[in-house]
Structure 1
Amino acid sequence: MTKEFQIRYQSDIVSSLSRRLMNDVVEEIFNYLDYDSLKNSEAVSVQWRDNIAYGKTWKKLLERNLRLSAEWREMLEILVLKWSLDSSVPKNYMHCRTLCKQVGNSVSKLRRNWLEGRHSKNEFTDFSQPEIESIFWIRGSLNFEMNKSWIGRGQRDGSIRFWNRWTLETSAIFQPLLLTNRLLGCNTVRCLQFNDDIVVASYFGGSICIWNVHTTELLQVLDEMDVANYESHYIPVNGLSLGGSPGNYWLLSCLSSPTEQDFVTLRLIKSPSEEIPIVHRIVLDQKLRVLQLLVNDTHVMLLISDTETKRDQIQIRSTASMEILKTIQIPYSEMGVFDYRKGLLLVGSRYEIQLWDTETAICIRSVRSSSSIVFVKIISDRYWVSCNTSGKVEVWDLKCALNPAHTPSVLLHQLDATNLHCPLLYPVVRADEYQIALIPCRAKDYSELHIIDFLQLDEKAPIDRPID
């Protein structure tokens, strides 16, 4: 034994404690390690590996991370959906170790892929609905939504179809009960929103349908045309937003007309199967048009365009009172978009993206784009994503954008969402921490769903090799 190796051997406190049969102390030491440190510790020596193998360290790490880390909880939910895993914490050591590594490796891989721009591209051909698109694509009704579990979209018969987002297998179909036909194409879904409990869809005919997401039971049919002048050619429910928490869901909708006033209605859903009261309804000036809206527990946000002065603004209102708290003037755009997260407001307009602090109403960062912006989204606390009319997806560094001293470009990656070699018309985009999904709208009869996948999960769950 060399002198250097002897010194290292004697200074190995873990092995020293093990030789003294103090394995409970060794296990307590390992319990302080995070996932990466514990995984690396297994490779230090056979003694370390055995100490970790025959204790409860992996089980305690899994329980701790699932309790404290939203990243780990959501990743486990996704792996359960993708690989049909058992979501309960297993008692067996090897199962705990395997599940811990599947979740931990996926979290690490996702972070690395976003930073380095690594992704895969997938096409979902069964998503196309040409009969709808040939009539309504230009109205911007090619709408779909997704959350961590499902992708949802309206069908040609007015039903809502859900797919398992990770296997792309049909999960559920929600059948509507629509009110009397008032407009051509009234069975066409105009807007769609859903969460873990309810599905809400609005239709060109003026209906808003609400279903139970678990049973697919139709719970409510609301009529948004009760305030409309039927000769004014209203576009029923030109916007829809669902926010809040179980027992207090807020539903915000807008009834729009090119010739009359816009109506914005806020409802409170305490129990979806019971009567849903209108909490507030505001009527805007005839020259003002609502382009986009959003609601959460504390704020209502309206992106409003002034058709006379050609100016846009975002009104931040109190959810409780609908009182205007702040008004932020933004660049004029006929198709403006915005997103909000933790006090930050991201606004996309013609050739420009602005990042605002809503507390101070100060624009923190402004960047230029080569064409009009059709989508913006703040991704966690690290990035934001934008897409322009040509279908070019760009990933930006949010942390650098928030630093006033950072003068270089905050653009990280430019991605092509599709392999189409032709201009797009008005792509419809959704994005979150895992994927960016896009309908290209290249032509009236073409709308496969194109997915940029940063998570890149294997088709089957990787099998962890047992310790010899």
Structure 2
Amino acid sequence: MEESASGDATLTTIIKLENDVQMEGPGDVLASATTTDLLADLSLAEDFNKEKHLGQAYLINHEKILGTFQSWNEHEQRDFMERALQRMGHYQIGHIDRYIRPMLQRDFISHLPSQLAVMILQNLDAKSLSSCEAVCSNWRSVLAVGQLWRKLIERNVRSDNLWRGLSEKRKWKNFVLIGREAAAQLICERYGKKYDQLRGSFDMFMLQHKFYRELYPQVISDISKIETNWRTGTYTLSRINCRSEQSKGVYCLQYDDDKIVSGLRDNTIKIWDRHDLSNPRVLSGHTGSVLCLQYDNRVIISGSSDATVRVWDVNTGECLNTLIHHCEAVLHLRFSDGVMVTCSKDRSIAVWDMVSPREINMRRVLVGHRAAVNVVDFDERYIVSASGDRTIKVWSADSLEFVRTLSGHKRGIACLQYRGRLVVSGSSDNTIRLWDIYSGVCLRVLEGHEELVRCIRFDDKRIVSGAYDGKIKVWDLQAALDSRSLPGCLCLSTLVQHTGRVFRLQFDDFQIVSSSHDDTILIWDFLDATGETRDVNADALNDAAPAPAVIVDNANNVDESSSEENEDVVRRERHPARQGPRASPELFH
């Protein structure tokens, strides 16, 4: 009877406590309590006197039972425990839950050697690192001493071009990928602290932790702004005016952080210092328009409508070599790893071995196109060429044998880029096509330009195209490769600033640099986008001679009245319904 009364009293207490919990507001700690917790609390309160509840038979046999339990395998042990739990009362399970919970929530980081803790945590992403900081001060100290935010930033800089570029443009590159001591000194200078006083102290670790912890969201914010600016077409525009007495257009260009190298219709190459764009260095020697060029850290190689290829010293501007092979204009060229490929209006492709700038030997001529070969690209597997005959041809880079033809464009092909297994081409049928080079299948057709697509480039995210309609379009590459994407979702933005045909462009994560028949080079900056436009060499423009006359008819066709037909490699075709300029019969059919 006493035991029954005791049990009833306990049950009454539990019910009362449960009612109290239900009556508490949601903000009270008690509101999160459970019946199981309350039962466990009651049973734990009696643990100090638990010996009086243990029978003599149990005390005699429990060691034997535990020995038998130990002899079982883990599956048998688990099965036994499940069966035992099924036979327990609710308050007993609550007690066991409270007993086990600390075992499952052990602070392993605090109990591990610091080096091992750092090795584990340094594999986390930013969100997880932030969560770790909030656990306790000890975990935060592990992050600080291990400089885990710095290591995360360094990993991103090593693996991601956008991060690497931002580290240079935002001037925080010097705080990563250098020794700890050197970085610590720079951080002390930034915060106005004395390095000698903090060196090796915990305060020094915390100061470095503060710097990198604050740097990370700043970088993420920059990346978000850049992506938004690309999608919305928001930029700051810098205009380089290239007009001179003879200039009638900028046909080609390439750039880096220090310079822009451009090929002009006035037969010259102009090298613009990115820090002083008003006074270009001029390379003269070609007797025709400079239609294509490429440079590396040693040489500039250019092709011209004078049918020659010239090799120049990139630092001194000296002409080191002149290659005479093609019998008509050299329309495009590419070189890499000791190999150069050139193509011409004479319908041929030439493959060259580059021993040195002064020793470049012909290896083989590839013949197969039925019209001018307007563009080439290659890697270690394939050479890819496109022609006015409406086809793209693929050649083996090793054997130089023909592999396959990609057919689909309805008119001549003016431009392409090849990388990985993807070829992207632009045509005078006003479309862009994406191809799988292995199967030859056309993956997508992009429509939107109103005239010939003259230049095209792509990276892992975007395709950027320029056309004779004067527009530059930015396309979503990943969406274009997804067959489920609707055509209306593919063009991210259209950039309209050129007043003439867009001849050439190049881009990276932060900018587009483009050139045009309007005698300008435009720099479209998506990093520091303010919407402003500035003429970086306006004084030079005021002193220059006026541009050559052009005639614009009512149909907006442009006739370059001072151009010669054999130089006009970018002339659009005549449409029967619109009287336009006379086109070369071999180009962009």
Aligned partner of residue 520 in structure 2, secondary structure: coil
Amino acid across the alignment from 2:504: V
Q: State the distance in 1 between where 2:165 and 2:107 align.
A: 40
Aligned partner of residue 143 in structure 1, secondary structure: strand
Is the 2:430–2:450 contact (alpha carbons within 8 Å) kept by the matching residues of 1? yes
Closer, same or farther: CA 118–64 of 1 in aligned 2, 3 Å: same
Is the 1:392–1:414 contact (alpha carbons within 8 Å) kept by the matching residues of 2? no
1:351 matched to 2:351: no
Residue 37 (structure 1) shift: 3.9
Structure 1 vs Structure 2: percent identity of aligned residues?
A: 19
Question: Partner residue of 2:42?
Answer: none
| Higher strand proportion (structure 1 or 2) | 1
2:456 to 370, 376, 380: 376
1:392 matched to 2:471: yes
Q: Specify every segment of 5 or more residues in structure 1 that has no aligned partner in the other structure, as ranges.
A: 229-233, 307-311, 459-468
1:71 matched to 2:161: yes
Amino acid across the alignment from 1:317: W
Question: Partner residue of 1:464?
Answer: none
| Higher helix proportion (structure 1 or 2) | 2
Closer, same or farther: CA 205–53 of 1 in aligned 2, 3 Å: same
Q: Specify every segment of 5 or more residues in structure 2 that has no aligned partner in the other structure, as ranges.
A: 1-27, 38-100, 188-207, 531-589
Q: State the distance in 1 between where 2:255 and 2:111 align.
A: 55
Question: Partner residue of 2:290?
Answer: 189
Is the 1:377–1:384 contact (alpha carbons within 8 Å) kept by the matching residues of 2? yes
1:313 to 391, 401, 405: 391
Question: Partner residue of 1:309?
Answer: none
Closer, same or farther: CA 340–227 of 1 in aligned 2, 3 Å: closer
Q: Summarize deviations over 1:124-165 as a string: whole Å, max 9, x none.
A: 33x321127x5443xxx532113466432247683541434x
Residue 315 (structure 1) shift: 0.6
Q: State the distance in 1 between where 2:213 and 2:496 align.
A: 32
Is the 1:178–1:221 contact (alpha carbons within 8 Å) kept by the matching residues of 2? no
Is the 1:121–1:450 contact (alpha carbons within 8 Å) kept by the matching residues of 2? no
Residue 323 (structure 1) shift: 1.2
Q: State the distance in 2 between where 1:36 and 1:454 align.
A: 27
Question: Partner residue of 2:385?
Answer: 302
Is the 2:233–2:493 contact (alpha carbons within 8 Å) kept by the matching residues of 1? no
Question: Partner residue of 2:251?
Answer: 142
Closer, same or farther: CA 333–227 of 1 in aligned 2, 3 Å: closer
Is the 2:253–2:261 contact (alpha carbons within 8 Å) kept by the matching residues of 1? yes
Closer, same or farther: CA 357–172 of 1 in aligned 2, 3 Å: farther
Q: State the distance in 2 between where 1:294 and 1:54 align.
A: 49
Closer, same or farther: CA 40–436 of 1 in aligned 2, 3 Å: farther
Amino acid across the alignment from 2:420: K
Question: Partner residue of 2:331?
Answer: 238
Question: Partner residue of 2:235?
Answer: 121
Q: State the distance in 1 between where 2:383 and 2:439 align.
A: 17
Closer, same or farther: CA 203–407 of 1 in aligned 2, 3 Å: closer
Q: Summarize deviations over 1:393-438 as a string: whole Å, max 9, x none.
A: 33333323323344563424223243x7xx6434533223332223
Amino acid across the alignment from 1:379: D
Question: Partner residue of 2:323?
Answer: 223
Q: State the distance in 2 between where 1:85 and 1:455 align.
A: 17
Aligned partner of residue 180 in structure 2, secondary structure: coil
Closer, same or farther: CA 15–161 of 1 in aligned 2, 3 Å: farther
Is the 2:514–2:523 contact (alpha carbons within 8 Å) kept by the matching residues of 1? yes
1:91 matched to 2:142: no
Closer, same or farther: CA 332–105 of 1 in aligned 2, 3 Å: farther
Q: State the distance in 1 between where 2:105 and 2:178 align.
A: 27
1:430 to 506, 514, 525: 506
Residue 217 (structure 1) shift: 6.5
2:515 to 410, 433, 439: 439
User: Scaled by the length of structure 2, what TM-score is found?
Assistant: 0.58
Question: Partner residue of 1:161?
Answer: 271
1:178 matched to 2:285: yes
CA-atom RMSD in angstroms: 4.2
Is the 1:136–1:142 contact (alpha carbons within 8 Å) kept by the matching residues of 2? no
Work out which of the two has the higher radius of gyration on C-alpha atoms and give 1 or 2.
2
Report the count of equivalent residues.
Answer: 408
Q: Summarize deviations over 1:96-151 as a string: whole Å, max 9, x none.
A: 765797588547743664367155423333x321127x5443xxx53211346643
Q: State the distance in 2 between where 1:18 and 1:171 align.
A: 59
After TM superposition, list the pairs within 5 Å mapping 1:273-292 onto structure 2. Answer: 275-283=359-367, 287-292=370-375
Q: Summarize deviations over 1:5-48 as a string: whole Å, max 9, x none.
A: 999xx98x999567668544442332111345436655666554
Q: State the distance in 2 between where 1:437 and 1:249 align.
A: 27
Closer, same or farther: CA 320–413 of 1 in aligned 2, 3 Å: same
Aligned partner of residue 482 in structure 2, secondary structure: coil
1:31 matched to 2:138: no
Question: Partner residue of 2:404?
Answer: 326
Q: Summarize deviations over 1:360-398 as a string: whole Å, max 9, x none.
A: 111122232251223332221x33233333333333333
Q: State the distance in 2 between where 1:15 and 1:198 align.
A: 63
Aligned partner of residue 331 in structure 1, secondary structure: coil
Q: State the distance in 1 between where 2:279 and 2:143 align.
A: 43
Residue 335 (structure 1) shift: 5.8
Amino acid across the alignment from 1:331: H
Aligned partner of residue 61 in structure 1, secondary structure: helix
